[in-house]
Structure 1
């Protein structure tokens, strides 16, 4: 069996001053992980400021470096990461892309594009920049923590509905595939066909919980109306697991809620922890 790595990376600085994504990650750890073995990435809880057009720049770079060092040491074939913010995916995605020499498609399930650069970002919040960094654009020290660069053709945006003009322009210019919530709700097979058109059986799932409809799941930092139904996401994950090699998965942007367990969170954690059963 290939080596699997579970990473607990509660990096919160990408979302601004509040530490709610840190608290959300800790809540997931307490409520859902049980005895599952995870490697922790230490994160600073000190207050931050903007530097190089990125809020929390110095701790973010240090923390990404810690994650990079762990992955280099472990050399896993599959990775499940719990954040924290969307920006925790820079190391896992770029590592698997490097390991597979580009033979992987990244599904970015997110209400937002995460395609800003430090210069184009209005908020300077780093959780709005990781996909652009994975595509090779951004701060030099941040980019140096990545193992490789994705091609736009390797990315499929799923469920986005709150994009800035600069992001829309980038998507159009680079012909990045998008499937709207209505596309997915009407026919999950559209996602399957979009992946097959990329020519790789290997996929990485970035799951920002704000892809879900806040009427069903409001426990996120930046809720956006009219998202995916939780049941639709659950069905989609089942189909993807059956038809493709899911080699990486992340669960990000959770905000602490009541102590009653969420079925969709449990499903995602169980799926991520079971990636060790994947053979490739």
Structure 2
């Protein structure tokens, strides 16, 4: 597919995960990504300033998040691209792009959600909107967010890859809606089951959501769960990713060989060492002027 019909959307949203580090991660991801000769747009996300987010209707930063999603919609609609790459930011950045792609491809879009978490919670369970996005894309959850999805993604066209242990609410939701999933242990060995799913479903157009926290912190350090100098019990009870770096790379490349990938969202990159070094340099003579 020609880059001229591809939109690269830089979307440094951090409010959905209520973590200012997502902003820097998105900036760095945009820098290290391969160059493009296609379309490039940036969603206007206010730079974090250390101020606490206001909780509105059960969600941190609700009004800002909705505003940013609508701006993303406008940027996408302006270009009417055939494909979209999203460089985030927290997971919520894929809401507007994937909703657009499903509408463009007449409700036939397949979604490969490469993530340790299903992202189907609602404000009743959690006050961070990045944990809601896949539910919203399927038409479930908070009305302000589902209103941004003109044509919900069919549940039978969604596959979770690398999904870890789920909460009771998530387990019940997945069972009720008969959502397909494949665990990290299987995918660390082979992509075959994902390829079989794509072929069995007849998926011709596919969007891939890649939350970096699907990977194990033993194999990749720029993840939420690898944050340095935090209390030892900070992540107790939270599901952590278990996929190997090489297995994720192989999975996405294998998928691209059997179907037309029209969406790729890369999210939740947290380059802790780069941020530590940046903060160090701010203190140095001649650099701190």
Same fold per superposition (TM over 0.5): yes
CA 1:147/1:162 → structure 2, altered by over 3 Å: closer, same or farther? Answer: same
* 1-structure distance, mates of 2:100, 2:241: 33
On the 8 A contact 2:189/2:247 being kept in 1, the answer is no
Structure 1 unaligned spans of 5+: 260-280
Could you tell me the TM-score, scaled by structure 1's length?
0.86
On the 8 A contact 1:113/1:162 being kept in 2, the answer is no
SS of 2:216's equivalent?
coil
CA 1:118/1:202 → structure 2, altered by over 3 Å: closer, same or farther? Answer: same
After superposition, residues 1-280 of structure 1 pair within 5 angstroms as: 1=2, 3-16=5-18, 18-33=19-34, 38-44=40-46, 45=48, 47=51, 48-121=53-126, 124-222=127-225, 224-225=239-240, 227-258=242-273
1:174-213 CA distances to partner (integer Å, 9 max, x unpaired)? 1000000112123311110012222222111000001111
* 1-structure distance, mates of 2:137, 2:253: 26
* 2-structure distance, mates of 1:38, 1:5: 6
* 2-structure distance, mates of 1:253, 1:246: 21
SS of 1:13's equivalent?
coil
* 1-structure distance, mates of 2:82, 2:241: 35
Asked which structure has the greater CA Rg, the reply is 2
* 1-structure distance, mates of 2:273, 2:198: 36
On the 8 A contact 1:20/1:221 being kept in 2, the answer is no
Deviates more, 1:174-183 or 1:27-36: 27-36
Deviates more, 1:154-163 or 1:27-36: 27-36
- Structure with higher RCO (Cα < 8 A, 6+ apart): 1
On the 8 A contact 1:21/1:221 being kept in 2, the answer is no
Could you tell me the TM-score, scaled by structure 2's length?
0.84
Structure 2 unaligned spans of 5+: 227-238, 275-289
On the 8 A contact 1:91/1:147 being kept in 2, the answer is no
1:150-174 CA distances to partner (integer Å, 9 max, x unpaired)? 1211110110114221111000011
* 2-structure distance, mates of 1:137, 1:62: 20
Across the aligned residues of Structure 1 and Structure 2, the Cα RMSD in angstroms comes to 1.8
* Deviation (angstroms), 1:25: 0.5
Deviates more, 1:165-174 or 1:24-33: 24-33
Q: Which runs of 4+ in 1 moved over 3 A?
A: 31-37, 222-226
Instruction: Say how many residue pairs are matched.
Output: 256
1:73-102 CA distances to partner (integer Å, 9 max, x unpaired)? 111000000000100111111111001112
